[in-house]
Amino acid sequence: MTNTLDDKAIVKDYFNATGFDRWRRIYGDGEVNKVQKDIRIGHQQTIDTVIGWLESDDNLPNLSICDAGCGVGSLSIPLAQAGATIFASDISEKMVTEAKERAAKELADTSKLTFAVQDLEALTGQYHTVICLDVLIHYPTEEALGMIKHLGSLAQSRLILSFAPKTCLLTILKKIGQFFPGPSKTTRAYQHKEKTIVAALNENGFKIERTSMTSTRFYFSRILEAVRSE
Ligand code: SAM
């Protein structure tokens, strides 16, 4: 049994060490093994779904967006490219450094994109939209619910989350387990029941607007867009 601080310390260490190398490769375009390639494709579909939703609203240049747990900037960089003002943060310094390097390479103008090394629960401020993709998988449901509450408090209009749904539990746990093998198994993958996540969003004043599900062989991510209901 671990507590929140332990879970965070473990996740932070992982994403500053073996996890950084692994996920930087998966979120890149270099050579990877078949499983990693499958996860890369699935993750890109999740990113593309969220970008598609935001672009279809046709107001990106007017939006302030908080990308909590931004990783290497897979979402933040294209959103900044599309004109949104982005505050991107991650608990892992290495991830943020990589994201900054990618942004400098890929964007002609980085002035609308700010990065910070920060635990998402320490974030402050107000943003039109708060997005947190594929982060809740690293925390037990109870901690994930605390994170949703905090992220919701930063969101003026909308909160977009993705998580591994609990439906295909055994399959997913087994498969995700392959990414944390042997001695480098320093973090776990947690799935969450959709109805629990939706109830937490409702309790925090949000209602579900759009949903999507990305499923490949080894990657499963349920995406929820929740908007303020009052
Ligand atoms: N959201 C990014 C994406 O979809 O490309 C990255 C997803 S990656 C699987 C998970 C990221 O969450 C890692 O970069 C990790 O460092 C970050 N993370 C984990 N716990 C966090 C926390 N408590 N606060 C901020 N970032 C966190």
Residue 51, in any domain of the structure: yes
Distance CA 228, CA 207 (A): 6
Distance CA 7, CA 199 (A): 24
Residue 182, in any domain of the structure: no
Q: How confident is the model at residue 183 (pLDDT cuts 50, 70, 90)?
A: very low
For 198-225, how does the pLDDT look when each residue is reduced to its tens digit (9 = 90+)?
Answer: 999 999 999 999 999 999 999 999 999 9
Q: Which of 138, 151, 154, 160 to mutate to test the pocket of ligand 1 (most atoms within 8 A of CB)?
A: 138
For 14, the domain range is 2-166+188-226
Q: Is 74 in the pocket of ligand 1 (CB under 6 A)?
A: yes
Q: What is the CATH number of the domain that holds 56?
A: 3.40.50.150
Residue 86, in any domain of the structure: yes
ipTM exceeding the 0.90 mark: yes
For 114-156, how does the pLDDT look when each residue is reduced to its tens digit (9 = 90+)?
Answer: 999 999 999 999 999 999 999 999 999 999 999 999 999 999 9
Determine the distance separating the centroid of ligand 1 and the alpha carbon of 186, expressed in angstroms: 15
The pLDDT score that the predictor gives to residue 6 is 85
Residue 150, in any domain of the structure: yes
Residue 172, in any domain of the structure: no
Distance CA 66, CA 64 (A): 7
The helix (run of H) or strand (run of E) holding residue 215 is strand 206-215
For the segment 49-55, the average pLDDT, to the nearest whole number, is 98
Residue 37, in any domain of the structure: yes
Residue 180, in any domain of the structure: no
State the DSSP code for 137: G
- Going from the C-alpha of 195 to that of each of 29, 127, 163, 202, the distances in angstroms are 35, 26, 12, 10
Phi, psi of 198 (to 5 degrees): -65, -40
Residue 176, in any domain of the structure: no
The count of domains in the chain is 1
Closest CA to 133 of 223, 23, 212, 44: 223
The helix (run of H) or strand (run of E) holding residue 207 is strand 206-215
Q: How confident is the model at residue 7 (pLDDT cuts 50, 70, 90)?
A: confident
